[in-house]
Structure 1
Amino acid sequence: MNILIVEDESRIAKRIERMTRDIFGDALQSLTHINRLHEALAYIETHSLDLVLLDLNLNGENGFDLLTTVVSQSFHTIVISAYKDQAITAFEYGVLDFVPKPFNRDRLKQAFNRAITKEKPENKIKYLAIKGRHRIQLIPIENLLYIKGAGVYTELFLADGKKELHDKSLEKLEQLLSPTFERIHKSYLMKMSEVKEIVVKSGSKYMAELKNGELIPIGRTKYKDIKAKWV
């Protein structure tokens, strides 16, 4: 694991670092602490990361100014903040977990477990942030039809016919999205409310026909489960 701590209070940062090293042990490859937003952003752009631990108040700067940028990246983000009233908004933007201050080791470990397992957060994500040419764009989840894996990236297929590229893998997006999205195939995440019909083709090929007429493959091992949930 390569982890970045973005926290302006040295005492809290050292506590997070100590707990993180204790929890991950030998699985921790690198752990870096930065206390300013612009420095954190520069670091994120030039280093490969698995996890960012982000405070929302950094020397008077708003962590949300960094949040849309970090949630558009390939790694997961966990917010550690005393501003509990901002938790819902943070989840809507696509953080994996929100750890309220003060916190203990068990609560931090719970957040880390979500990063390394397929446990879904209880709160609903409302947007997927993607990197545009000059800015971060927020894609409302309600406009998303399905997601296709494209190596370490994913392709987002939208209701208006557009296609956008996301830096997160299919596995990481599956962790974030609510149960309204199902993994119907090793390469596809589908919003089940968009399925019009389940079709069986010759050669025992299973397809999900969408309301817009598109056909998306269903994995053979997933067919029975998907059909039961769709009905």
Structure 2
Amino acid sequence: MNILIVEDEARIAKRIERMTRDIIGNTLQSLTHINTLNEALLFIENNTLDLVLLDLNLNGDDGFDLLSTAVAESFHTIIISANKDQALDAFEYGVLDFVPKPFNQDRLQQAFNRVFTKEKSENDQTKLLAIKKRGRIQLIPIADLRYVKGAGSYTELFLTDGTKELHDKSMEKLEQLLSHSFERIHKSYLVKMSEVKEIIVKSGSKYMAELKNGELIPVGRTRYKELKGKWV
């Protein structure tokens, strides 16, 4: 794993680094510490990362200025901050976890476990998806999202107004962040269940989900029974 720590207090950064090395072990490829907002933004732009551990107060700069950029990237973001009152806002942006200071290694391990096991976030609070568009970050409300389609290491977001946007996160990472109102109905599709009108069976034992706008999306054979049960 390639990990970036963004933390302005050297003592805390060293503690996070030590704990991270203990937790990750031999799978850690690189671990970088940066203590300023602008340097972190530049590093993210020019390096491949798997995870960012981010403080929200960086020498007086607001970590949310970096957060909207970070959550638009392919990696996950975990907040480590004493500003517990900002946890809800952070989850709405799509962070995987919020570790409040002071913390111990067990709590940090719990956050890392969510990265390793690809489990859904316990906090079903993601309200926005940040995408990179024309060199800027655009925030898309989850309420405007109809379904997600896998496109290799990327995903395509299909919105209720008929438009489509590209996201840098993989299907697996978005599945962790999106609320439980979304279901993985196929290896390549993640759908908001409130948008499903009917589950139908076509000739040749092909299963489809008909959406309220008339679109048909394939349903995987192994997922049909579970999906049918939830739908009924």
TM-score calculated relative to the size of structure 1? 0.99
Query: Could you say which residue in structure 2 is the equivalent of 1:104?
Result: 104
SS of match in other structure, 1:206: strand
Deviation of 1:132 (Å): 1.1
Counting aligned pairs with the same residue, the percent is 79
Rounded to whole Å, the distance in 1 between the matches of 2:116 and 2:204 is 37
- Which residue type is aligned with residue 215 of structure 2? E
Query: Could you say which residue in structure 1 is the equivalent of 2:207?
Result: 206
Query: Could you say which residue in structure 1 is the equivalent of 2:177?
Result: 176
Superposed CA deviations along residues 172-224 of structure 1, whole A, max 9, x for unmatched, are 00011111100000000010110001111100000000000000000000000
- Which residue type is aligned with residue 184 of structure 1? I
Rounded to whole Å, the distance in 1 between the matches of 2:214 and 2:150 is 20
Query: Could you say which residue in structure 2 is the equivalent of 1:146?
Result: 147
Superposed CA deviations along residues 143-193 of structure 1, whole A, max 9, x for unmatched, are 000000000000000000000000000000001111110000000001011
Rounded to whole Å, the distance in 2 between the matches of 1:119 and 1:83 is 25
Query: Could you say which residue in structure 2 is the equivalent of 1:196?
Result: 197
Query: Could you say which residue in structure 2 is the equivalent of 1:164?
Result: 165
TM-score calculated relative to the size of structure 2? 0.99
Query: Could you say which residue in structure 2 is the equivalent of 1:216?
Result: 217
Query: Could you say which residue in structure 2 is the equivalent of 1:13?
Result: 13
Rounded to whole Å, the distance in 1 between the matches of 2:118 and 2:152 is 19
Deviation of 1:61 (Å): 0.3
Query: Could you say which residue in structure 2 is the equivalent of 1:41?
Result: 41
SS of match in other structure, 1:171: helix
Rounded to whole Å, the distance in 2 between the matches of 1:28 and 1:108 is 15
SS of match in other structure, 2:169: coil
Superposed CA deviations along residues 8-51 of structure 1, whole A, max 9, x for unmatched, are 00000000000000011101010000001110011001111000
- Which residue type is aligned with residue 60 of structure 1? G
- Which residue type is aligned with residue 5 of structure 1? I
Rounded to whole Å, the distance in 1 between the matches of 2:62 and 2:111 is 22
Superposed CA deviations along residues 124-143 of structure 1, whole A, max 9, x for unmatched, are 10000000113211110010
Worse-superposed segment, 121-130 or 105-114: 121-130
Deviation of 1:99 (Å): 0.2
Rounded to whole Å, the distance in 1 between the matches of 2:168 and 2:115 is 16
Rounded to whole Å, the distance in 2 between the matches of 1:32 and 1:76 is 16
User: Structure 1: which 5+ runs fail to align?
Assistant: none
- Which residue type is aligned with residue 188 of structure 1? Y
Rounded to whole Å, the distance in 2 between the matches of 1:120 and 1:203 is 33
Task: Please tell me whether residue 121 in structure 1 is matched to residue 121 in structure 2.
Answer: yes
Rounded to whole Å, the distance in 2 between the matches of 1:131 and 1:222 is 32
Query: Could you say which residue in structure 2 is the equivalent of 1:230?
Result: 231
SS of match in other structure, 2:213: coil
Q: Runs (4+) of structure 1 moved beyond 3 Å?
A: none
Rounded to whole Å, the distance in 2 between the matches of 1:83 and 1:120 is 23
Query: Could you say which residue in structure 2 is the equivalent of 1:29?
Result: 29
User: Structure 2: which 5+ runs fail to align?
Assistant: none
Query: Could you say which residue in structure 2 is the equivalent of 1:65?
Result: 65
SS of match in other structure, 2:135: coil
Deviation of 1:119 (Å): 1.8
Rounded to whole Å, the distance in 1 between the matches of 2:213 and 2:163 is 13
Deviation of 1:116 (Å): 1.3
